[in-house]
Structure 1
Amino acid sequence: MRVILILLLTLLLCSCGPQTFKYEAVDSSPPQLVVRGEGRVEVTPDKLRLRLGVVNGASEAEQALVENNQRMSAVMAMLADIGIAADEMATGQFQIRPEWSLPPRPTPANWQRHIVGYRVSNELWIVTTRVALAGRLLAAAQQAGANQVGGLQFTLADPEAHRQRAITLATAQAVREAQTLAAAAGVSLGPVQSLTLDSPDGSPGPQLMTEARFAGADAVPIAAGKVEIKAAVLIVYRLAEEETPINKNE
């Protein structure tokens, strides 16, 4: 009986000892509202980039070079006649390379390749604000001797002003959406927590509405289209905390 009493007292003392409670931390960060706005501005291009090239070959390197120089000089003279200034033209890639013989079929064991000629390529870049000349440039360049035409691109001489406008439109849209969401949800907007800007510029490719060969044409039909400048803005608002009304009767 005495042993039983001792055991009961021991259990009672243990039950009165310190207790352990498990709890989870509550996220006390203020609620936020995240909105995204986009702005788009379409602008008529005022800058033109075009690549013209002359590629030719001959049995001798000097002969190929002389012919290439004559044809490129004719192309540059044509550009000057149209109204392209010297500072709007720049030589790009220039190359002279040998052309090698092809192995016969069947190929003899002692066959060795040898140079059969030379090929010269000369590239000229045109950058001008005279966008209206695009069609005439393409046609006249081919007639003057250019047999490589490419890289046609319509851009903007000063895109920064249009980019700023796109950013303004994107920000205004984001603010409007935040105000609409807050009003619909019955909450109030607090201060802005962060602003993020993403503004990928866009530019259209030219629409060439003709065949690759256009000998005899005074101008090639070209539609410059529009240059689209885009901007995206991400705004994070802190939501204002509602004050709990005080009960004066308490």
Structure 2
Amino acid sequence: MTKQILGAFVGTLAAGAVIIGVTKLLGPIPLSISQTTTNKQSTFDVSGTGEVTTAPDQAEISLGYQTTSTTVADAQNKGNQVINTITKDVQSLGINSADIKTVSYSLYPSYDFSAGQHISGYNLNISLDVKVKDFDKVNQVIDVATKDGANQVGGISFTISDAKEKDIENQARKQAIDEAKNKAQSTAQLAGIRLGKIVNVTEDTAQAPRPVPLLAKDMAVNAAGTAAPTQVNPGSTT
């Protein structure tokens, strides 16, 4: 995450003028001295940038089940059985129920046009999102889900939780402000001016890259086949 801070500082130039007036009078000459000080205030802008690189602290896995049946009830029964089994077994891995969410559920008819239009069956699609905070369990979640009947793995996205995002945002902000202050102090010293207070601060936050799914498109899983254990790597993000 990158933050840029632009600050406007007041610099004060102090000029002193001494005016000496001499008056000729009889007797001792009186000396009159007065001093006038003028202050000129102006602002100058400095910028600072803070950048923090961190590793994702959670993974979001998209799982799905698709089936076709001759009746609505049969399709629903199949879907409910598979999804309930996946949910139960994923929870047994230590995943909280709040982190398992149904994101889509669709049931629609299939039509046969070979001998006029008539319904030949019903298609059911159910999609789940599973949030995993322990990366050691990502592989297990995928393997358990596909074993239980999930035949779609839409993708894996490694993301940063809201709490961690706020923390690294504050770190980047502090870096940017410290850099801007150092620049202002150095500029004031070289220019021979006295640094005043900050009069304005502007913050610009660079957009964090959107998480890219590890699997770019739906991957059909053959439940009858066997596969090597899934391996994924979260990497890091800036």
**1:145 partnered with 2:156:** no
> For 1:13-55, what per-residue CA distance to the aligned partner results, in whole angstroms no more than 9, with x for missing partners?
xxxxxxxxxxxxxxxx964322222212122322222221111
Alpha-carbon deviation of 1:225?
A: 1.4
**8 Å contact from structure 1 (residues 35, 178) kept in 2:** yes
Percentage of matched positions with identical amino acids:
23
Give the equivalent residue in structure 1 for 2:136.
132
Q: Quick check: which one's strand share is greater?
A: 2
**1:119 partnered with 2:123:** yes
**8 Å contact from structure 1 (residues 39, 168) kept in 2:** yes
Give the equivalent residue in structure 2 for 1:216.
226
Alpha-carbon deviation of 1:120?
A: 0.8
Q: TM-score, normalised by structure 1?
A: 0.64
**8 Å contact from structure 2 (residues 156, 215) kept in 1:** no
| Paired residue type of 2:172 | A
Counterpart pick for 1:166 among 166, 169, 172: 172
> For 1:47-97, what per-residue CA distance to the aligned partner results, in whole angstroms no more than 9, with x for missing partners?
222221111112222222122222222322331333323232222221211
List runs of 5+ in structure 2 lacking aligned partners. 1-39
> For 1:146-198, what per-residue CA distance to the aligned partner results, in whole angstroms no more than 9, with x for missing partners?
12223522233312222211110111122223334445555554332211223
List runs of 5+ in structure 1 lacking aligned partners. 1-28, 105-110, 229-250
- SS for the counterpart of 1:165 is helix
Give the equivalent residue in structure 2 for 1:226.
236
Counterpart pick for 2:184 among 178, 182, 186: 178
**1:44 partnered with 2:48:** no
Moved over 6 A (4+): none
**8 Å contact from structure 1 (residues 136, 218) kept in 2:** no
Structure 2 counterparts to residues 1-250 of structure 1, below 5 A: 31-102=42-113, 113-157=117-161, 158-159=163-164, 160-183=166-189, 188-200=194-206, 202=208, 205=211, 208=214, 212=219, 216-217=226-227, 219-228=229-238
Query: Which of these two proteins has the greater Rg computed from alpha carbons?
Result: 1
- CA 1:178/1:101 → structure 2, altered by over 3 Å: closer, same or farther? farther
Q: TM-score, normalised by structure 2?
A: 0.67
- CA 1:181/1:47 → structure 2, altered by over 3 Å: closer, same or farther? same
Aligned counterparts of 1:191 and 1:85: Cα–Cα separation in 2: 50
- CA 1:199/1:36 → structure 2, altered by over 3 Å: closer, same or farther? same
Aligned counterparts of 2:78 and 2:233: Cα–Cα separation in 1: 34
Aligned counterparts of 2:197 and 2:54: Cα–Cα separation in 1: 34
